[in-house]
């Protein structure tokens, strides 16, 4: 279980403090899926980086299975069981896709194991296993490989920042199926940051973040119907009806 208490993260901009994550609290039980959504620039990705240990919280606490991991850096959090897929994955010139997958898994993967991981994100293994993680790969290809590295190992908590970005419709459908499989196994917490209705509809819990604050948080049954209500009302008004 992941439990977050009053998490806050600030940055200095031209000598003034700006709060990107403002006293956010939530929990994700084992086997649950939490989807975080909201306007661009609202603090979703920053929150994910603080959870993964890429950014250090200014205040608040993070617990993983009752262990306080607030002071852990990214390596210690990864060892504790937190996996993270970047919104914009880094490139590593000189490292092959196959090697990266093995490093992510913590063991030497067989060719079949690597192929299965790449297939799960819509990539043909023959075309990618021996390719380097450099500028020859597109942003969408890098995104899919990054997701495959997180899928390569079981985690207590897996965080995916906009997994749909840069992925074609067919690959997106395969990715949805993989998330559904992980969710059905009920072995780890899933946190997905997304604007995609299909992904949001998979959630057990939904959290809406805007201006660094939680605007809505609850079960899918409570939150999901309200997310697209304003959009539907506006469409109705534009067509001359009543909301």
pLDDT at 169: 80
pLDDT at 230: 57
pLDDT at 37: 97
pLDDT at 166: 73
- 97 occurs within a structural domain: yes
- 26 occurs within a structural domain: yes
pLDDT at 125: 82
> CA 114, CA 203: separation in Å to the nearest integer?
28
> CA 225, CA 145: separation in Å to the nearest integer?
33
* Angle (deg, nearest 10), helices 169-185 and 139-151: 10
- 106 occurs within a structural domain: yes
Residues 6+ apart with CB under 8 A from 173: none
Q: Domain range holding 38?
A: 2-235
pLDDT tens-digit map of 62-80: 999 999 999 999 999 999 9
Looking at the structure of the chain, the number of domains it has is 1
> CA 145, CA 128: separation in Å to the nearest integer?
9
pLDDT at 175: 81
The single residue listed with the structure tokens 């000598």 is 15
Of 37, 22, 45, 21, the closest CA to residue 227 belongs to 37
Residues 6+ apart with CB under 8 A from 36: 44, 47, 48, 191, 192, 193, 194, 206, 207, 208, 209
pLDDT at 243: 55
CATH code of residue 59:
3.40.50.300
- 11 occurs within a structural domain: yes
Q: What is the pTM of this model?
A: 0.85
- 71 occurs within a structural domain: yes
- 243 occurs within a structural domain: no
Question: Consecutive 10-residue runs of the chain (243 residues): their mean pLDDT?
Answer: 97 90 96 96 96 96 96 93 82 88 91 91 86 86 86 91 82 83 86 94 96 96 85 54 59
């Amino acid at each position: 279980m992941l439990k977050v208490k009053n998490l806050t993260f600030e940055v200095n901009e031209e000598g003034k403090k700006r709060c990107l994550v403002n006293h956010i609290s939530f929990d994700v039980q084992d086997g649950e899926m939490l989807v975080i959504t909201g306007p661009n620039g609202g603090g979703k990705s920053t929150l994910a980086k603080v959870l993964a240990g890429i950014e250090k919280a200014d205040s608040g606490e993070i617990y993983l299975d009752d262990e306080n991991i607030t002071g852990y850096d990214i390596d210690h959090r990864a060892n504790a069981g937190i996996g993270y897929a970047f919104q914009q994955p880094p490139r590593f010139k000189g490292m092959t896709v196959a090697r990266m997958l093995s490093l992510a898994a913590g063991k030497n993967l067989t060719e079949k194991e690597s192929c299965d991981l790449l297939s799960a994100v819509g990539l043909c293994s023959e075309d990618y296993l021996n390719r380097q993680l450099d500028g020859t790969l597109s942003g969408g290809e890098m995104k899919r490989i990054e997701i495959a590295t997180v899928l390569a190992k079981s985690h207590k908590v897996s965080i995916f920042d906009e997994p749909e970005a840069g992925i074609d419709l067919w690959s997106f459908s395969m990715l949805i199926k993989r998330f559904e499989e992980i969710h059905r196994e009920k072995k780890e917490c899933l946190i997905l940051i997304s604007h995609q209705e299909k992904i949001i509809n998979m959630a057990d819990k939904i959290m809406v973040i805007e201006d660094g604050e939680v605007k809505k948080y609850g079960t899918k049954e409570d939150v999901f119907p309200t997310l697209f209500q304003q959009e539907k009302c506006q469409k109705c008004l534009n067509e001359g009806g009543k909301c």
